[in-house]
């Protein structure tokens, strides 16, 4: 039996040398991204001990996804995916190195944290939707589903490993060292991207004011496609009701469980482990059939798991529910991305994926800002629990709507 057959979709995707090289380098870069996020979150908490500031920092990181990602998708469809990703990775490495320098020098303030986080978030927003679109150019159509799932599994493996490494380095060394290591991972990915070549002959146009018309064309396309519109609505609901709790985990670790960076690492790594299992399972599954049902099911179980987490007072029991949240939250995200990539017109791909990023990554910024502010008045746990319960209620509608749209979303030709 061929190794690619034994490992299912995972083996098929990784048998492609270009995708394999991209995947390995992107893995190190993604671990660096989680090192940086962990370091920034704990630095902000150390400087302020405020859930409001945690929400503001999270907002600064994710808000660019709302604006920059829309432009990035149109730019990628116009000038080429690789150019945009290379620029974003080089810029992220430079900003993270600057962040590390200020932190090591002891000159960092919470205002600087917000400003530098905004710049870093803007660079991430520039490259993220294009990076998602690039996968379609690296693998065959029949390998798209496992490649997307494998990338998401890698992302959550990094979420598992990154916080654990960051927590240890923060305890043994310092936050600035963690940021410096993160910057090196961005630079190595940039170097690898210089040697990757794909056919982008149809994407060599110059930038112009027509780019804004391109953005609106993408928006109209999404609104006019019932299946993609349905998936975007569910992503938006998850982004507002479920995902904001991620940015408030430093407060949970400290105030609810009485732990330091080790507690935050336990919770973040638990989420990453759940997401890793989810991604690997979907990658091995290797097909689009049945994914619509998994999207709606994930909304129910991620809401239930998060609601129970908020009433748990023991960190290791809470970690178990974080594994469940990570599994179902990523089950929905990976399945949605795969279905959208499967259904979208290739000429619109980056623009549609930019809207995917805006909704699934940008909306949690508003949710985190609102939940952080509300938590300072009525408490952290009631606010997060309310969002989880509302997600469960939304599932009642999504279940029936998903059944009607599944055939079109899961088509294979």
**Distance of alpha carbon 111 from alpha carbon 186, whole angstroms:** 24
User: What pLDDT, on a 0 to 100 scale, did the predictor assign at position 138?
Assistant: 77
**Distance of alpha carbon 35 from alpha carbon 46, whole angstroms:** 16
**Distance of alpha carbon 229 from alpha carbon 83, whole angstroms:** 29
Structure tokens given for 256:
């609810």
Domains with residue ranges and CATH for the chain: 8-194+207-409 (1.20.1250.20)
Structure tokens given for 343:
């259904």
The model's pLDDT over 153-180, given as tens digits with 9 standing for 90+, comes to 777 677 667 777 787 788 888 888 889 9
Q: Per residue in 170-179, is it b (16+ CB within 10 Å) or e — as a string? A: beeeebbbbb
Polymer length in residues for the chain: 413
Q: Is 300 left (phi over 0), alpha (psi -120 to 50) or beta?
A: alpha
Give the residue carrying structure tokens 């995707």: 13
**Distance of alpha carbon 245 from alpha carbon 268, whole angstroms:** 11
pTM (2 d.p.): 0.69
Neighbours of 198 (CB within 10 A): 15
The segments of the chain whose pLDDT lies below 50 read 1-6
User: What pLDDT, on a 0 to 100 scale, did the predictor assign at position 6?
Assistant: 42
Neighbours of 305 (CB within 10 A): 22
Q: Taking the CA atoms of 133, 135, 137 and 139 in sequence, report the sign of the dihedral they define.
A: negative
Distances (CA, A) of 164 to 90, 183, 263, 265, 272: 25, 18, 10, 5, 10
**Distance of alpha carbon 246 from alpha carbon 234, whole angstroms:** 18
User: What pLDDT, on a 0 to 100 scale, did the predictor assign at position 163?
Assistant: 72
Q: What angle do CA 156, 32, 34 make, to 5 degrees?
A: 45
User: What pLDDT, on a 0 to 100 scale, did the predictor assign at position 1?
Assistant: 43
User: What pLDDT, on a 0 to 100 scale, did the predictor assign at position 3?
Assistant: 46
**Distance of alpha carbon 220 from alpha carbon 207, whole angstroms:** 21
Residue 361's nearest CA partner among 391, 329, 387, 393 is 329
Q: What is the DSSP letter of 312?
A: -
């Amino acid at each position: 039996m061929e190794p690619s057959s034994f490992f299912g979709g995972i083996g098929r995707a990784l048998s492609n040398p270009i995708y394999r090289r991209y995947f390995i380098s992107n893995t190190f870069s993604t671990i660096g991204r989680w090192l940086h996020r962990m370091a920034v979150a704990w630095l902000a908490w150390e400087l302020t001990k405020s859930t409001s500031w945690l929400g503001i920092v999270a907002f600064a990181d994710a808000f660019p996804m709302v604006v920059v990602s829309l432009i990035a998708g149109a730019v990628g469809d116009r000038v080429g995916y690789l150019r945009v990703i290379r620029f974003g990775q080089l810029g992220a490495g430079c900003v993270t190195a600057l962040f590390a320098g200020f932190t090591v020098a002891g000159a960092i303030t919470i205002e600087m944290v917000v400003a530098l986080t905004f710049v870093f978030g803007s660079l991430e927003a520039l490259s993220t939707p294009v990076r998602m679109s690039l996968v379609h150019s690296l693998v065959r159509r029949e390998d798209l589903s496992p490649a997307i799932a494998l990338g998401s599994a890698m992302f959550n493996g990094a979420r598992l490993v990154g916080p654990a490494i960051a927590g240890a380095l923060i305890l043994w060394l310092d936050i600035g060292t963690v940021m410096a290591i993160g910057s090196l991972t961005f630079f190595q990915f940039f170097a690898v991207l210089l040697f990757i070549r794909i056919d982008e002959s149809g994407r060599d146009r110059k930038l112009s004011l027509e780019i804004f018309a391109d953005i609106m064309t993408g928006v109209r396309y999404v609104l006019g496609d019932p299946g993609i519109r349905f998936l975007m609505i569910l992503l938006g609901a998850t982004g507002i009701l479920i995902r904001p709790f991620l940015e408030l985990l430093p407060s949970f670790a400290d105030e609810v469980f009485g732990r330091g960076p080790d507690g935050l690492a336990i919770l973040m790594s638990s989420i990453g482990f759940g997401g890793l299992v989810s991604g690997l399972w979907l990658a091995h599954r290797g097909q689009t059939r049945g994914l619509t049902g998994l999207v709606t099911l994930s909304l129910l179980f991620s809401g239930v798991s998060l609601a129970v987490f908020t009433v748990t007072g023991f960190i290791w029991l809470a970690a178990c529910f974080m594994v469940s949240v990570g599994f179902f939250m990523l089950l929905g995200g990976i399945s949605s991305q795969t279905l959208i990539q499967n259904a979208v017109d290739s000429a619109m791909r980056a623009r549609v994926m930019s809207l995917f990023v805006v909704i699934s990554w940008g909306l949690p910024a508003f949710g985190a800002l609102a939940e952080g502010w509300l938590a300072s008045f009525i408490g952290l746990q009631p606010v997060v629990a309310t969002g989880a319960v509302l997600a469960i209620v939304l599932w009642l509608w999504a279940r029936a709507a998903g059944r009607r749209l599944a055939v079109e979303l899961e088509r294979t030709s």
